[in-house]
Structure 1
Amino acid sequence: MQYSKSTDYALHALIHLASAERRQNVGIKPLSETLGVSESYLSKIMSKLRQDGIVRAVPGVNGGYELARPADQITFLEVVQVIEGRQHLFECSNMESNQHRLLAEEESDDRYQADHDSERCVCLVKQVMDGAERQLNQYLQEHTIQSVVDAAVAAGKFPANKK
Structure 2
Amino acid sequence: MKFSVGVEYAIHCLLYMVNLEEGKSVGIKDLAAFQGISETYLSKVYAKLSKSGIVKSIPGVKGGYALARSAGEITFWDVVEAVEGTESFFQCAEIRQKNILLDKENLPDTHTKCPCLIKVVMLEAEDEMKKYLNNKTLAWLYDEVYNKKLPKDVEKATIEWFSNKRK
TM range (shorter): 0.7 to 0.9
**Aligned partners of 1:155, 1:77: CA distance in 2, in Å?**
23
More strand by proportion, 1 or 2? 1
Structure 2 equivalent of residue 89 of structure 1: 89
**Aligned partners of 1:151, 1:106: CA distance in 2, in Å?**
49
Could you tell me the TM-score, scaled by structure 2's length? 0.78
Could you tell me the TM-score, scaled by structure 1's length? 0.79
Q: Which amino acid aligns with 2:45?
A: I
Q: Specify every segment of 5 or more residues in structure 1 that has no aligned partner in the other structure, as ranges.
A: 108-118
Alpha-carbon offset, residue 155 of structure 1: 2.3
Give the fraction of aligned pairs with identical amino acids, expressed as a percent.
38
**Aligned partners of 2:128, 2:53: CA distance in 1, in Å?**
25
**Which aligned pairs between 1:29-40 and structure 2 lie closer than 5 A?**
29-40=29-40
Q: Return closer, same or farther for 1:67/1:135 CA change in 2, 3 Å cut-off.
A: same
Structure 1 equivalent of residue 110 of structure 2: 106
Alpha-carbon offset, residue 145 of structure 1: 0.8
Are 1:154 and 2:155 an aligned pair? Answer: no
Q: Secondary structure at the match of 1:155?
A: helix
- Root-mean-square deviation (Å): 2.1
- Residues 19, 149 of structure 1: 8 Å contact kept: no
**Which aligned pairs between 1:38-117 and structure 2 lie closer than 5 A?**
38-93=38-93, 94-98=95-99, 106=110
Q: How many pairs does the alignment contain?
A: 144
Q: Specify every segment of 5 or more residues in structure 2 that has no aligned partner in the other structure, as ranges.
A: 103-108, 160-167
